Amino acid sequence: SHAWTLVSRPKGSPSMENFALRDIPDQPLKEGEIRVSNSFFSVDPYMRPRMDEGDSYIAPFELNEPMTGAAVGRVVETRSERYKVGDRVSHFLGWRDSATLKAENALPLPVGDLKDEYFLDALGVIGMTAYFGLFDVAEARPGDVVFVSAAAGAVGSLVVQIAKLRGMTVIGSAGGAEKCDFVRSLGADHVIDYKSPGPFEDKLRAAAPDGLDVYFDNVGGEQLDAAMGVAKRNARFAICGMIGMYNSDAPIGFSNLFTVISKRLQIRGFINGDFMARRDECMAQMGYWVSKGLIESRYTIFDGLDNGPQAFFSLFSGGNTGKALVRLGA
């Protein structure tokens, strides 16, 4: 099989020279192991900070080792009682066409018509991020005015929809007219093109003249600063990601930081893994919404293992709408 490895740590934006596709010889399975032919793997913004050295919530990628990440596939060989050939599983050995792993490190996926893509999106950790970030971390409730950035992306597009399903007023931001149309089509009440000229904070204030109850932050930087400026007293911020800052080590200035005190803002960071013990609760609710057709999932699919790095780069240039995935074996 073949896997992408990181051969050097990017400085600033990642580029092809940081990656190499390597052969990984298939060893015979050991007792308790399975071999999975991957159908899709996920590319995610958090993989960029994983390319740097240093402390984070997940160990950095090791140079010259196969990279990892969420993937879905089918068991093609098994030496475990838990799985038979043909079973569909998700696991964490993405960035490769075929994965050999201990059976206990795979998650069985339901038999049925749901496409593999869902399990790397609404019915996987992306769904958990949106659900727990919005309802638990930000404690968003019906009637709240909620602002979500990167609203045309994987997490953001789910946040828009589940916030509307729970009776909130939703403001979404995205880059460019096409993406803004998509966010509107998901039900957002107001959409802001953050790439249009003029201070973002003015546009946010125009969309939320009475202020924000909740900000679901996917980007950091200017939009976070603006949200602090427009927040109501006691507003809750779920800090999910800061993609606008991942390729830069320049210090960021905030002009509204003092409002954290003056408005008693509650700013809470979180990681979806913090909520793993409550996964079933989330999957039951998301599964219900998906099965009733109440959640639209959009994918940007890159075909073939060769396109793995391109798929990843697209996250930073806004080349994806909805969940960015790499499809294998087509």
Residues that bind ligand NDP (CB under 6 A): 44-46, 129, 150, 152-156, 174-175, 179, 218-219, 240-244, 270-272, 315-316, 318, 320, 324
Classified as helix, coil or strand, 76 is strand
* DSSP code for 69: B
Looking at beta carbons only, is 35 or 203 nearer to ligand NDP? 203
Write down the least CB distance from residue 219 to ligand NDP, Å.
Answer: 4
Looking at beta carbons only, is 45 or 74 nearer to ligand NDP? 45
Task: State the amino acid at position 243 in one-letter form.
Answer: I
Write down the least CB distance from residue 180 to ligand NDP, Å.
Answer: 9
Other C-beta atoms within 10 Å of 224: how many? 24
Write down the least CB distance from residue 43 to ligand NDP, Å.
Answer: 8
Looking at beta carbons only, is 34 or 290 nearer to ligand NDP? 290
Write down the least CB distance from residue 154 to ligand NDP, Å.
Answer: 3
Distance CA 302, CA 317 (A): 15
The alpha-helical segments, DSSP class H, found in the chain are 47-50, 125-132, 154-165, 177-185, 200-207, 221-230, 259-262, 279-291, 308-317
φ/ψ of 150, rounded to 5, equals 45, 45
* DSSP code for 210: T
Looking at beta carbons only, is 83 or 118 nearer to ligand NDP? 118
Write down the least CB distance from residue 169 to ligand NDP, Å.
Answer: 20
Looking at beta carbons only, is 174 or 188 nearer to ligand NDP? 174
- The Cα diameter of the chain in Å comes to 63
Classified as helix, coil or strand, 214 is strand
Write down the least CB distance from residue 87 to ligand NDP, Å.
Answer: 26
Write down the least CB distance from residue 307 to ligand NDP, Å.
Answer: 16
Distance CA 183, CA 197 (A): 19
Distance CA 244, CA 247 (A): 7
CB-based contacts of 57: which residues, under 8 Å, 6+ apart?
A: 271, 273
Task: State the amino acid at position 198 in one-letter form.
Answer: G
Distance CA 194, CA 175 (A): 6
Looking at beta carbons only, is 78 or 94 nearer to ligand NDP? 94
Looking at beta carbons only, is 37 or 314 nearer to ligand NDP? 314
